Amino acid sequence: MGNKKSIGNFIVIEGTDGSGKTTQVKLLTRYLKKEGFDVVVDDYPRYETSVWGQLIGRMLTGEFGDPSQINPYLSVLPYMLDEYFGSQDIARWLEKGRFVLSNRYFTSNIHQIGKLKGEARKVFRKWLWPTGWDSLGILKPDLIIVLSVDPKIAMKLIKKKGKRSYIKKGDSDLVEEDLNYQTEAAKEYFYMCQKNDNWVLVNCLDNDNKILNRGEICAKIIDVLKKRKFL
């Protein structure tokens, strides 16, 4: 078993809905603890512990209309506030030298960009990131690992998710059921991985376009962390 880290690291696991983020966070947490890291896990949106997360849950289940049709400049606001207040906790954990592993984060607002097309997408992108990182002061992660899964496959995996408190009926929210929405979000994740060195795409499919087993995917993530000198 290795020594515990004295300086905190902040890693985010990202990807479209159904890409296996929660599973990989659990597996990676187990691995890091065995290696002697002092790990704390965060999860966004905070549906049960934050008033903003509760508002997001109501939005995703259609209380305010079809979430894919709500103007992204408005629908992004409760997410940003949830993440802003959550990042204050993350900062305290990092000061204590803990390894923070987050299942989604401010980086998930790529889904809002996916609502738009062409020039409107570029304009929103230029507004979103400076507003969150700079104006609000949301804490920036050290690394964002994006799980890449074909949205059609991911949508099938969504059906296997456990019951979530904010969903009152059925097994998925309206955004998870929208293939176009998920496809456009996947494109934006790919774009960010191309444009930013601290965004890394992890392909979760084999050569036959079938999903790898969870252990194989976790091994890929660990390999990225080792190459980036986090382990």
Q: What is the CATH number of the domain that holds 196?
A: 3.40.50.300
Residue 212 maps to a domain: yes
Identify the DSSP state of 36. T
Q: What is the pTM of this model?
A: 0.87
Max CA distance (Å), the chain: 51
Predicted pLDDT of residue 160: 63
Residue 2 maps to a domain: no
State both tokens at 74. Answer: 């408005």
Residue 116 maps to a domain: yes
**How far apart, in whole angstroms, are the C-alpha atoms of residue 155 and residue 89?**
32
Q: How confident is the model at residue 5 (pLDDT cuts 50, 70, 90)?
A: very low
Residue 186 maps to a domain: yes
* Helical packing angle, 118-130 and 72-95, nearest 10°: 30
Predicted pLDDT of residue 174: 55
Q: What does the radius of gyration of the chain's CA atoms come to, in whole angstroms?
A: 17
- Residues 106-125 have a mean pLDDT of 91
Look-up of token digits 């949301």: 138
Q: How confident is the model at residue 164 (pLDDT cuts 50, 70, 90)?
A: very low
The pLDDT > 90 percentage for the chain reads 70
CA angle at 133 for the pair 65 and 52, rounded to the nearest 5°: 35
Q: How confident is the model at residue 169 (pLDDT cuts 50, 70, 90)?
A: low
Residue 4 maps to a domain: no
Return the higher-pLDDT residue of 172 and 20: 20
> pLDDT tens for residues 191-219?
999 999 999 999 999 999 889 999 999 99
Residue-averaged pLDDT of the chain: 88
Q: How confident is the model at residue 159 (pLDDT cuts 50, 70, 90)?
A: low
Residue 223 maps to a domain: yes
pLDDT over 80 (residue 13):
yes
Give just the sign of the alpha carbon dihedral 82, 196, 129, 181.
negative
Number of domains the chain is built from: 1
Residue 1 maps to a domain: no
User: 174 is in which domain, residue-wise?
Assistant: 9-227
Residue 115 maps to a domain: yes
**How far apart, in whole angstroms, are the C-alpha atoms of residue 154 and residue 169?**
20
Predicted pLDDT of residue 108: 94
State both tokens at 217. Answer: 């995917």
Identify the DSSP state of 12. E
